[in-house]
Amino acid sequence: MTATSVRTDLRNVAIVAHVDHGKTTLVDAMLRNTGAFAAHSEVEDRVMDSGDLEKEKGITILAKNTTVFYSGPASNGENVTINVIDTPGHADFGGEVERALSMVDGVVLLVDSSEGPLPQTRFVLRKALAAKLPVILLVNKTDRSDARIQEVVGESMDLLLGLASDLAEEIEDLDLDAVLEVPVVYASGKAGRASLNEPANGELPDKEDLEDLFATILEHVPAPTYTEGEVLQAHVTNLDASPFLGRLALLRIFNGTLTKGQQVAWARQDGTIKPVKITELLATKGLERVHADSAGPGEIVAVAGIEDIMIGETLTDIDNPKPLPQIEVDEPAISMTIGINTSPLAGRVKGAKVTARQIKDRLDRELIGNVSLKIQPTERPDAWEILGRGELALAILVEQMRREGFELTVGKPQVVTKHIDGTLHEPFEEMTIDAPEEYMGAITQLLAARKGRMSSMTNNGTGWVRMEFTVPARGLIGFRTRFMTETHGTGIASSISGGYQPWAGDIEYRTNGSLVADRAGVATPFAMINLQDRGTFFIDPTSEVYEGMIVGENSRSEDMDVNITKEKKLTNMRAASSDSFEGLTPPRKLTLEESLEFAREDECVEITPEHIRIRKVILGQSDRVKAARAKGK
């Protein structure tokens, strides 16, 4: 008989939470508290958000792991290695969360002391409970002036009970009593303090370090177990790259031992087995990867030497291979077409990547590390349909490609529909909105026009109201810009997948039409001043335009073709140089996400390393009229 053994010197834990509840800041504090920054005296905040887009947007996009070494009172003198996985909080990056949960033995559920559980909290917690992982509840930001700690703990426990009850029907041996026996830690990640004692609202925890958090992790997150004498089983959960070593496969070892130079069996997605050699083995220490000679069960390491390895594959024994099951992720709900730049201004940026082959190669590389993304061919050989979990995830991919020097034409995001029992179904979202009371009517009206149904409303007497809606996913395309305008930038909206429901009917995304340039040229101040009563411009004077390019938003519902290149007639009384910018309203500059939201069905977004432009799919005015007539027939 084979015996089960335990690695008491090791813990693997993921930190999961809603967006902006402080996961990455807490990881910073854990690293500082255990001395991991000793060799990095000038380390920035949120070191785990290493990507440029993560720093700019203030969100975690990719799941990353770090290691802290704890030897405090709770470890009884033993030096315990704690592998910490920092996960994204946005449901659009749910594939990262699912991968992270396959690496760990427990989760720290982090909840803001004022906002409480929000949609992404529900999303990540459901994934953790479905994986039968023990949960530690951590109430963060206890020093917020609007903290309501007891209520947030109650809401979190209600959420736990509700999710566990739902999952009990799917998972036969789910222990409801064990799920509800959740330890609660109160913390301020920014201050680097945590305590098991509940502080008063708005106050810091009574302990000056994170000792109580580490002690709770050691007590409630089980140490990794493995089968004594079992063959090697190591699951690939992430990919990285090194300029010296090439592709790195990040994996968790479930059984057996992995050593540098070892010959192992590579169990691939297609079921084939291939012998490979581990040319390099790397362990994580704080913020760095260090060379290692061997690694045992429960450890999370990186290996080099396998160029085409993919996420979900297994490294196992070469004589007795035993592959692990593939990682399963939720199906995509949003699709978007990406192709070469077909505008008249294509190829103007020196060194830009403009060919279909370059774009296809880049999309194929994205598939390697992004398990929640799918790519399908279209009728055109120079365009592809990209399917993902949400609009933000697809916009992040496009922005990354833009910064890498690609020129693209991107279509309006669409939902992925299904036929269930002969009826057309579409994805829905469960949306939670926090906003001041005075905007409640405007928000309700806005979502009602997008086929949203209010399921609950709560007023805590603070002047703010929380509303929950069930909305078609396509109704949220272009929603956030309108929402921020209606709430004057104060509203907070977040959503998670609500499954598929019958098609909700037609939705009017935008009530205003577009101002479309009717000829190529350069936008003149004279023309823009005369046209600015017609709507809002998106471009600056002297910008180069082409026929079919959208230069602004019409104040009326229909599109309007305008001559934005018109110049003032020269006379002997006044020179053309007397044009003034003083009477011109500053243009509204749209970000990539706002441009994708603004575009209508017959519009697309032109993206270059230097410019983001919105244009008609059919550029010529007469061609658009002919197409509209043909469609009408």
Binding residue ranges for GTP: 20-25, 140-143
Give percent helix, percent strand, percent coil of the chain, each to the nearest 5: 25, 30, 45
- 28 CA to centre of own chain: 20
Helix (H, G, I), strand (E, B) or coil at 189: coil
**Which region, left, alpha or beta, applies to residue 502 given φ > 0 means left and ψ of -120 to 50 means alpha?**
beta
Q: Which of 341, 339, 360, 357 is nearest to 349 (CA)?
A: 341
Helix (H, G, I), strand (E, B) or coil at 80: strand
Q: Are 415 and 478 in contact (CB under 8 A)?
A: no
Per-residue tokens: 310: 């993919």
Q: Are 191 and 213 in contact (CB under 8 A)?
A: no
Helix (H, G, I), strand (E, B) or coil at 237: strand
Q: Which of 5, 29, 11 is nearest to 69 (CA)?
A: 11
**Rounded Cα gap, residues 258 and 294, in angstroms:** 6
Per-residue tokens: 56: 């700019």
- 270 CA to centre of own chain: 28
Using CB atoms within 10 A of its CB, is residue 31 exposed (0-12), middle (13-18) or buried (19+)?
A: buried
- 300 CA to centre of own chain: 23
**Rounded Cα gap, residues 58 and 52, in angstroms:** 10
Which secondary structure element, helix H or strand E, spans residue 456, and what is its range?
strand 453-459
Q: What are phi and psi of 495, to 5 degrees?
A: -150, 160
Per-residue tokens: 171: 């998972």
**Rounded Cα gap, residues 300 and 561, in angstroms:** 59
Q: At residue 588, what is the residue type? A: R
Q: What letter would DSSP give residue 310? A: -
Cα torsion angle, 76, 77, 83, 89, sign: positive
**Rounded Cα gap, residues 219 and 217, in angstroms:** 5
Q: What letter would DSSP give residue 286? A: B
**Rounded Cα gap, residues 153 and 159, in angstroms:** 10
Instruction: Count the helices and strands in the chain (H runs, E runs).
Output: 14, 37
Q: Specify binding-site residues.
A: 20-25, 140-143
Q: What letter would DSSP give residue 604? A: E
